[in-house]
Amino acid sequence: MFLVTIIPGKPGRHVNHTVRKLVEQLLLFWKGVFYSCTARYPLGRTVFAVLIPVVCDTEAAIMIAGFAAHNHTYFCRRCLLPINDIHNLNPESWGMRDSIKHRELAFESKDASPARRDAIYKAHGVRWTELLELPYWDPILFTVIDDMHLGYLGLFETHLRKIWGINHEKKGGDGLEPMPEAKKLSKASLRQLLNEIRGNLPILRNVLMAENKASLWYICFMLNLRTGLRNKQQLVEQILQWVSFQLYELPTLYDD
């Protein structure tokens, strides 16, 4: 292991000029560098070297490996699951990134105008990185998000306490917090919502988007749909998907 350089301050996206110096050296070793004398080979030896993993946190991966920010539509460095569908836990339905396509887009971005470069980033979540000058380097397979920052940034704590609902102050058992009871809607509000869903009108999406998040959350809760979603749009998409397959199985939520 050896130290190549230290980038002062917060480099943001402007790290390529520094990475380029490293890439220039690695390209030489990709072809082979002859040392006239080494400790084990007094008559000299040709040395080959490659860069395989780039181990970093998510923010560094954005800068050095050319990926999009964590809140971009295509936030993942391995797949093309849109962030609005982040609750989709079926990996077989995720479209995976393609290294050849990624490389083509990155090289196009390199030579593009600022407007075109921004368009590529917005549409595909791809930026140019000097590491792609290495013909063997695969940004999708070789970018490794390290787990040190999971503790340092408090992500483990968030996952345990917020997502799993574990409370360390509870004695014994598994320490799970009881799930909060869903706040029921009034009969009038519920009846109106159910009638709108049963009607399955072409404007149902607009009708649901006009509802408040609490009402949509309650409908999802009673239909056994996922409730831990980011925004109203995701709740609406779940309800619409349910309607398209199970409209006639709409349960009776209240007894009249």
- pLDDT exceeds 90 at position 164: no
pLDDT tens-digit readout, 122-137: 999 999 999 999 999 9
Arithmetic mean of pLDDT, 168-183: 58
Helix boundaries (H) for 10-154: 16-31, 58-64, 99-111, 114-124, 139-142, 148-152
Domain count of the chain? 2
Please tell me the distance from the alpha carbon of residue 227 to that of residue 246, in angstroms, as a whole number.
18
Helix boundaries (H) for 11-98: 16-31, 58-64
206 lies in which domain range?
Answer: 187-249
Residue 7 lies in a domain: no
Listed residues 117, 146, 175: the one ending a domain? 146
- pLDDT exceeds 70 at position 106: yes
Q: What is the pLDDT of residue 126?
A: 95
Arithmetic mean of pLDDT, 5-32: 84
Listed residues 146, 164, 197: the one ending a domain? 146
- pLDDT exceeds 70 at position 18: yes
- pLDDT exceeds 60 at position 70: yes
**Do residue 35 and residue 132 come from a single domain?**
yes
Q: What is the pLDDT of residue 31?
A: 94
**Do residue 80 and residue 30 come from a single domain?**
yes
Residue 171 lies in a domain: no
- pLDDT exceeds 60 at position 185: yes
Arithmetic mean of pLDDT, 247-254: 56
**Do residue 141 and residue 40 come from a single domain?**
yes
Helix boundaries (H) for 35-138: 58-64, 99-111, 114-124
Residue 102 lies in a domain: yes
- Min mean pLDDT across 66-75, 172-181, 244-253 is at 172-181
**Do residue 131 and residue 212 come from a single domain?**
no
User: Mean of the per-residue pLDDT values for the chain?
Assistant: 83
Task: Please give the model's pTM, rounded to 2 decimal places.
Answer: 0.69
